[in-house]
Structure 1
Amino acid sequence: MKLTQLLVLTSLIYFLVLFPTFGQDYFLKDQAPFLSEIPTPEEFLGYPIGDQHTRHDQILAYFTKLAELSDRASIQTYGKTYENRKLIILTISKPKNLNNLEDIKKKHLAFTKPTNNPTNYDEVPVFIQLGYNVHGNEPSGGEAALLTAYTLVASNSPEVQTYLENAIVFIDPTINPDGRDRHTQWANQFKGSPLVSDPFDAEHNETWPRGRTNHYWFDLNRDWLLGIHPESRGKLTWYHEWYPNVVTDFHEMGTNSTYFFEPMKPIGSLDPIMPKENYEDLNNLFAPYFSSALDRIGSFYFTKEAFDGTYPGYGSSYPDLQGALALLFEQASSRGHLQKTQYGTISFPFTIRNQYVSSIATIKAAVENKATLRKYQQDFFKSSEVGGSQNGFAGYEFGDLYDQNRNKAFIDKLLLHKIKVYKSGDRYVVPVKQPQKRMVQTVFETYNKYRDSVFYDASAWSLANFYNIKYKGVKSLRTGAEVTSTDGIVKTSNFSKSNYAYILDWDDYNASAALYYMQSKGLLVASAFKPFTIKTSEGNRSFNYGSILIPVSKQKKNKDEVFRILKNAQEKFNVPIYSTETGFSTSGIDLGSGNFRKLDTPKALLLIGDGVYSYEAGEVWHLLDTRVHMPITKLKLNMFNSVPLKDYNTLVMVSGRYHQLDSLQQKRIKEWISYGNTLVTIGNASKWAIDKKMVSEVLTTKAKDSAKQKITKRLPYVDAGENIGRERVGGAIFEVDLDITHPLGFGYRNKSVPVYKNNSVFIAPSKNPYATVAKYTENAHIDGYISSNNYENYLKPSASIVVSSIGSGRVILFADNPNFRGSWYGTDRLFLNALFFGEHVYVPNVRE
């Protein structure tokens, strides 16, 4: 068939399916008869599905009504979002199954216990979890959830009755309600009458930060492993209670695409910890169900050539490490109600129908293969009891003696994933041989060999490195008591009231939050720029660089008020605070030394808006909001000329394209810095500062080949995307050598620090010997993929953090992202040090 004929046919198919003459029959005609007492989504909402975008509260209300009216359904809340929207699951099955759900659950979970050997694979209903709308502006899934719920609750077709008899279906209609409602408001607000299909119409082009992300602009589909946000933490808690056999992850992609279902591209890892039976056998078992269902309604689709499940933190990969089959679906998005594409016009109802049809096909496939799925899950968990890690270790020991709050945060993450942890002396131990063996491998193992070099997302995820937790693999284990809670992990002594001074230990992760709390209450504080040992109420105590001095006699408040503020700070943040009655140190600087420097309260601006990378901006906002409890002004770029910069002492610029800042505005920033203020740049913003000559630093360039002119090798055209893609730094972990005597390195005891790099910003070390704060080591690679070209010619010669002076101020340039996905407890302290100590960071003049 000629291309023009194909396009005409495809357009005709789109037209016919996009403009049906019957309302909900467009979706539901194959599932009749329906119970008349159950309202259709159209009857409940007052408009046909697809006629406009449905708010989360309306979805919640409809699901609640279904649970009220039907004995096939029950509803539960598993959490709340930052914006206080409920996260809910609708459970649907035969009434007899729901009435006996606890007993069925017990039988189901028996297959996840390695020591159990049930064989009634076909007798227990299969557990299916249908998840939708983790990206807020991919709304077709949430609408399909309404139709799927109605079908299962109201249909009396023999097919649906079979599903209800043989399955427990859990429907999570909106994993990201905050983002969905942000997008819903936009799409409905700009909906035209008649509909406007022009891709340039405002309806199809959300403004920054768009609805994809949650309240803090995080991509929740990357948070299953990291477990930072309430949406993910609630879902993970629910997940580990039920361990479903099948989990769906419904998404949208570019408007000019078609529809995708698994199998994906091959996993990029050379030796995946996910069982081969999962990504080959089970995927190939389910695929014909999807192709058959989509063929029946004339929808085009593709498989195998896109996406990958290498990163274990997606909704379509995390369940694969829990004995389930996780399934990704990607629908071409209408980005509104109706939009022109290269193949005709695509409508919102059309996108919804593909997702709905795939939902029903998933249930059908799971029910017809429930014995296979149960046997697979049983074998999966039994295999966790076989062998150790791929490195031959029986387990891992870890623990930071100086930072108990960081230990606590790391252990909290292990327990969230149901990883067993034990206390052994002053260390913690994690055995490899346990039901969550593959999660243990995910947390601790690192990789440097891959079958593929182009990844959909990160190629490194060893969480121990995220937390800068020093750990080691051990061949034999000595375990003590099991740690089942993080309560009591952090132990702080009650300090006594002092007439002289108090000292806050800066080694603790929560010290930044405690410091800001003190400053916000009006206390005068200073930081130690050299170590010292002094007699405290707890005896002689050694304090590291950065330790915070609170002198009693220098305060405007009386000693009782000072003591009360410090007590509150310790209770809120569980930080180590000590009292002393002397300024004389047994070693190191005395408390009256000039090496104690007064700290001003940070008054920070964060540039946001069009061109700014919203993920990184959200990471800064989230860090300061949720962990430091420090406000930061989020300034839209188009308001830059209006802001009085003199009211702030710190400006933060994350990765982005700052084309809105013209030469006059750049000059304004430079003059503001020169008055003694601090500009902190991250990733591409550091490159911007260098490119615009804001600083005198330069980017790393590849050494020129002294040989004769190199002849370009001819390559196959079809390989271009793959060859170019492998030069992208998609996300890997590297070691840097950190100057722990520098203010940006205060609070670190070990100069070897893992950092996360997911950009191609390579900054050359400064010509000033004191200005390169962190540099990649000679053997920098820890985990993940990087091309040899990037590694040898660009990364290894480069710096991770450089400081450049402008007048009395400075620019602190981060080549990497210290706050990545809210998970890098090991490096976000570098960023916080820039905010709290920036005023005292300077580059010493060195004569040539």
Structure 2
Amino acid sequence: MRRPLLGLIFGFLFSLQAFAQEEYYFPGEKFDPAIPSPSQFLGYPIGDWHTRYDLIVKYFEKLDQLSETAKLQTIGYTHEHRPKVILIIASAKNMGNLEQIRQKQLQLADPSQPKPTVADMPSIIHLGYGVHGNEPSSAEAAMLTAYWLMASQSDLANNLRENTVVHIDPTLNPDGRDRHSLWANSNKGFPAVADPLDREHNEAWPGGRTNHYWFDLNRDWLPLAHPESKVKVEWYHQWYPNVTTDFHEMGTNSTYFFEPTKPYGSENPVVPRKNYDDINPRFAKYFAKYMDQIGSLYWTKEVFDNSYPGYGSTYPDIHGGLGLVFETASSRGHVQSSQRGDITFAFTIRNHVVNSLATMEAALDNREYMHDYLREFFQTAVAEGAKDPAKNYVFGDEFDESRNRLFVQFLLDHKIKVFENTADLTASGQSFKKGKSWVVPTNQPQYRMVRTMFEYVKEFADSVFYDASAWTMAAAYGMPFAAAPTAKAGSQVSEVRAPYFAFPEGKAYAYLIDWSDYYAPKMLFELQKAGIHVESVHRAFSSQTQDGKVDFPAGTLMIPMGFQKLSAAEVSVKIKELAAKNAQKVYAVQTGLNLSGIDLGSNLVSAVQHPKVLMMVGTGINANEAGEIWNLLDQHFGMPITKVNMEQFGRVNLHQYNSLILPSGSYSALSEGQVNNLKDWVNRGGTIISMKSASLWLNQKCITKEEPVTLKDEKEPASLPFNTRNDFEGAKEVGGSIYLADLDLTHPIAYGYHRKNLPVYRNTDIFIKPSADKYLTPIKYTANPHLGGYISTSNLDKLKQSAGVVISSAGQGRVVHFFDSPNFRGAWFGTNKLFLNAIFHGDNMD
């Protein structure tokens, strides 16, 4: 009898503990005993442990099973195959009419449809938590908020269940959350250690902030580079919530932040002023009331940015809703010392819980107002679009079918209407061909997103940016585009299909593949992986093919049938298979004697090296940049890349690799012997692909000898007021802006490009002079390079004198220096080819 009795005693003690905890989060509240609290379900008080994501999902599954007021949806999966879930909570009546409610909300957001009566429409509230995995309090708050909304017997909870439909996304970044939760739980002390130096509060690289590929998903609502964001934005457009939250954590010595953000300086240029001047202040009063009740300190109207469209708190602002960012001081573990005493995990959770409740109350009280605003937002968008002198934007790259498809699909994913271009036309000095270009009218509900995709902005109310100051997505995709008031739109595009190319029949002397298409490198790698020998033609030429005479640019791939280990039949079958898979056009020739230009056996034709790529990662390395590279090769091109931690570099046999990628970061941990090994490897023919600050380190170690740009007579004031420090120093940074580069189209770095000018993205203030070797600066900037975003006058002067890419010879090897960001946020499809050329053609670049 002792064991059951002990069990009863422990159960009773835990019930008391759980009750005390509920009193901490919800003082004085009464709850439906049929609904278990998170503490009762998990077996520990919320705040005692960092809850694993699978347990959060299981708790939501339990709520779904227990009540007809809850419904759990799986909308997709992460890279690591964790489910992306959303819990819907509403009254039984509303739950039974969920699809009708959704359709009515979509009707409200469509100005072409009659406006429904909003008096009886429930408010659509989306509570989003945990986009940064190591800001864990919000996911715990999600469970408590769901419990309160379903089980509380208060008048407010009853009113919310009857008059709102609440969608709860407990964690936008499940992969990152579990990485951090494992760290915090496995390093927890008993008793917990509050010392900020303790291991628990200092994660190992890369930390839990980012997703599987080390991307910051709070920047991905616009680029849609990852499945977590793709399914979330797809879901968003199925509902158009009136209010969307985005809960975060900040420094331990901070207090709490809620919107409004910094007036004018941090605002998005396409969002109506009503959002900032009226709606934000309305909601802020509720947040202040709830925080005052628990005595938590808070602040508003400072620092945090609301301009970049890819934030979870800004994207809703561009879609007729209210996006709200919240930031709480972080315990970065279970308890940590701060200037105000120890910050506990439970304290940070409570801050987010009360603001979750405040958000719902504010949305409820402003239900009809926010519905009217949703309609007004899209009505005014159509009206403004009709008045826009651009009338249309036309875009298309006649040489790159795949990149065209990617951009059209991207626009469709954001619900922008796209039409076929029915006739050849010229706009802004650029030619756009029928069948290879598309038209986007400004007169459409998504006009403000159209501006986001095609407008360059260079004038700002502020000179200090929390994040990127430019985001013209047509430039990111490298799309030729222009305003086209007289364009004639044809059929609307509803889906994007890969083209079909007939494979040449019969025997061939050689096969040719133009390198211009975005996925040509993927085709090349798969050919090499299949054991097929591939060469590259380094000068332009013309050949007689199955389609007659065809002009081929430098960089064209050539597969000679006389130099293959496989039989001719096996080679042809494999090429046909891979061409269909990658939507690549293959040409057959019957002779090596070309119609013009060099012949196929020229000394200017050489084998393409099979990439064996090593990338340095680990402490000191920019994880976002390394992740961009890993994701590009892994997800887009199916190319494995060996990632080696810096502390393991001494164990690496570099001669097993032909390319070494050094992302931005500090390499001071490498010993003198390791640096000498690196010098020996590159001198023997290796290729280093160096990003930004890594190039400065290579200079310091005398592996390269490039020079920084300096301005004559550049002087700063001798003294300035102390309170101007952040603004003055912040204005010197190049936080993220777009420039027009000048490409040497004859250089291998530019293989696949047909236009001399290319938009590039820069987010560094490292400015390096062109190479002393007049042939080795293949990418410079134009005379007037600034396209969009903020840059100071001094930095712009330096930029005009600097290089975008420099090649440094080093013995028999070379270093390819990138000073821009060719793979930025998985969105810069227009410059990816530059980086891939460094991998495939690096041995020909010097």
TM-score by length of 2: 0.95
Selected match of 1:795 from 796, 799, 818: 799
User: Could you say which residue in structure 2 is the equivalent of 1:845?
Assistant: none
Match for residue 3 of structure 1?
Answer: none
SS at match of 1:776: strand
2:822 and 2:359 mapped to 1: Cα distance? 40
> Against the structure 1 CA distance between its residues 354 and 802, is the aligned structure 2 distance closer, same or farther, given a 3 Å change threshold?
same
Deviates more, 1:271-280 or 1:555-564: 271-280
* Cα 1:711–1:277 shift into 2, 3 Å: closer
CA distance in 2, matches of 1:220, 1:497: 49
Task: Specify which of 558, 562, 582 is matched with residue 591 of structure 2.
Answer: 582
1:452 aligns with 2:462: yes
1:23, distance to aligned residue in structure 2 (A): 2.3
Match of 2:76, SS state, is strand
- In the other structure, the counterpart of 1:836 is 840
The 5 A counterparts of 1:217-366 are 217-268=214-265, 272-366=269-363
State the match for 1:691 in structure 2.
700
Rounded to whole Å, the distance in 1 between the matches of 2:199 and 2:119 is 52
The 2-side partners of 1:258 and 1:270 are apart by 23
* 1:733–1:781 Cα contact (<8 Å) kept: yes
Q: Contact (CA 8 Å) 1:422, 1:483: kept in 2 or not?
A: yes
Deviates more, 1:645-654 or 1:690-699: 690-699
Query: Which residue in the other structure is 1:562 paired with?
Result: 571
- Preserved contact between residue 674 and residue 808 of structure 1 (Cα < 8 Å): yes
Q: Where do 1:669-748 residues align within 5 Å?
A: 669-704=678-713, 712=717, 714-748=719-753
Distance 1:390 1:214, change over 3 A: farther
Question: How far does the alpha carbon of each residue in 1:237-261 deviate from its partner, in whole angstroms, 9 at most, with x for none?
Answer: 1000110000000001111101000
What amino acid is the match of 1:308?
D
Residue 504 of structure 1: how far off its partner (Å): 1.3
When the two chains are superposed, the root-mean-square deviation of aligned CA atoms in Å is: 1.5
2:645 partner amino acid: K
Q: Give the Cα separation in 2 of the matches to 1:498 and 1:185.
A: 59
Shift of 1:107: 2.0
1:820 to 812, 821, 824: 824
* Number of the residue aligned with 1:596: 605
Q: Is the CA contact 2:287–2:355 (under 8 Å) kept in the aligned structure 1? A: yes
In structure 2, the residue matched to 1:197 is 194
Could you state the TM-score of these two structures normalised by the residue count of structure 1?
0.95
Aligned residue type for 2:152: S
**CA distance in structure 2 between the aligned counterparts of 1:711 and 1:607, rounded to whole angstroms:** 37
Quote the Cα distance in structure 1 between the aligned partners of 2:305 and 2:655: 48
> Does residue 31 of structure 2 align to residue 27 of structure 1?
no
Deviations 1:91-147 (A, max 9, x none): 001000000111122222221011334362231000000000000000100000000
Alpha carbons 1:270, 1:450 under 8 Å: kept: no
Letter in 2 for 1:240: H
- Structure 1 residue 391 displacement after superposition: 6.4
Residue 170 of structure 2 corresponds to which residue in structure 1? 173
Structure 2 CA distance, aligned partners of 1:384 and 1:403?
A: 32
Q: State the secondary structure of the residue aligned to 1:29.
A: coil
Question: What pairs with 1:127-138 in structure 2 (closer than 5 Å)?
Answer: 127-138=124-135
Contact 2:268-2:309 at 8 Å conserved across structures: no
Moved more, 426-435 or 117-126: 117-126
CA–CA separation in structure 2 for the residues paired with 1:712 and 1:177:
48
In 2: Cα distance, 1:369 partner to 1:770 partner: 64
Residue of structure 2 equivalent to 1:13: none
C-alpha displacement of 1:584: 1.5
1:415 aligns to 2:419 (yes or no):
no
Alpha carbons of structure 1 residues 499 and 392: separation in structure 2 relative to 1, 3 Å: closer
In 2, are the aligned partners of 1:392 and 1:475 still within 8 Å (CA)?
yes
Contact 1:690 1:699 in 2 (8 A): no
Q: Which residue of 2 aligns with 1:498?
A: 507
Correspondent of 1:479 among 476, 489, 492: 489
- 2:188–2:334 Cα contact (<8 Å) kept: yes
Contact 1:802 1:812 in 2 (8 A): yes
Match for 2:417: what amino acid? K
Shift of the alpha carbon at 1:711?
A: 8.3
Report the residue type matching 1:546 in the other structure: G
User: Which of 468, 471, 479 matches 2:478?
Assistant: 468
Distance 2:606 2:234 in 1: 45
Which amino acid letter does the alignment assign opposite residue 822 of structure 1? G
Give the length in aligned residue pairs: 817
Partner of 2:450: 440
Which of 628, 632, 655 matches 1:623?
632
User: 2:791 corresponds to which residue?
Assistant: 786
Q: Quote how far apart the aligned CAs of 1:660 are.
A: 0.7
- What SS class does the counterpart of residue 118 from structure 2 fall into? coil
Please name the residue that 1:5 is paired with. none
Deviates more, 1:118-127 or 1:678-687: 118-127
Deviation at 1:477, TM superposition (A): 3.2
Q: Distance in 1 between matches of 2:267 and 2:140?
A: 38
Q: Report the CA distance between 1:700 and its aligned residue.
A: 1.1
CA distance in 1, matches of 2:562, 2:719: 76
> How far, CA to CA, are the matches of 2:217 and 2:85 in structure 1?
16
Measured in 2, the distance between the counterparts of 1:364 and 1:636 equals 49
Q: Say which of 373, 377, 396 aligns to 1:399.
A: 396
- Which one of 88, 108, 114 corresponds to residue 91 of structure 1? 88
Amino acid at match of 2:180: H
Matched, 1:102 2:111: no
Q: Between 830-839 and 117-126, report the one with greater CA deviation.
A: 117-126
Query: Which residues of 2 match residues 424-435 of structure 1 at below 5 A?
Result: 424=421, 425-426=434-435, 427-435=437-445
Of the structure 1 ranges 405-414 and 561-570, higher mean CA displacement relative to structure 2 is found in: 561-570
Q: Which amino acid aligns with 1:26?
A: Y
Compared CA separation, residues 391 and 671, structure 1 to 2 (3 A) = farther
Find the residue that maps to 1:241 and give its secondary structure: coil
Q: CA deviation at 1:342?
A: 1.2
Moved more, 656-665 or 736-745: 656-665
* Cα distance in 2, alignment partners of residues 46 and 668 from structure 1: 54
User: Structure 1 stretches of 5 or more lacking a match?
Assistant: 1-18, 843-848
- Shift of the 89–21 alpha-carbon distance from structure 1 to 2, 3 Å rule, reads closer
Contact 2:501 2:580 in 1 (8 A): no
Name the CA distance, whole Å, in 2 between partners of 1:576 and 1:115: 42
| Aligned-pair CA distance for 1:270 | 8.7
In structure 2, what is the Cα distance between the partners aligned to 1:670 and 1:512?
29
User: What amino acid is aligned across from residue 536 of structure 1 in structure 2?
Assistant: T
Return the letter of the residue paired with 2:185: N
**8 Å CA contact 2:267, 2:306 repeated in 1:** no
Assess if the C-alpha contact under 8 Å between 1:583 and 1:590 holds in 2: yes
Aligned to 2:536: 527
The superposition leaves residues 683-709 of structure 1 with CA deviations (integer Å, 9 ceiling, x where unpaired) of: 11122222332212111112246xxxx
**1:613 has 2:625 as partner:** no
Q: Distance in 2 between matches of 1:704 and 1:537?
A: 62
Matched letter for residue 818 of structure 1: P
Shift of 1:561: 1.1
Mark the runs of 5 or more structure 2 residues left unpaired by the alignment: 1-16, 422-433
User: What CA deviation, in whole Å up to 9, does each residue of 1:736-760 have, x standing for no partner?
Assistant: 1011110111000001011100011
- Report the alpha carbon displacement of residue 73 of structure 1 after superposing the two structures with TM: 0.5
**Contact map agreement 1:24 1:49 (CA 8 A) in 2:** no
CA offset digits 1:317-345 (Å, max 9, x no partner): 00100000000000111000000011110
C-alpha distance after superposition, 1:639-659 (max 9, x if no partner): 011111111111000100111
Q: 1:12 maps to what in 2? A: none
What's the secondary structure of 2:479's corresponding residue? coil
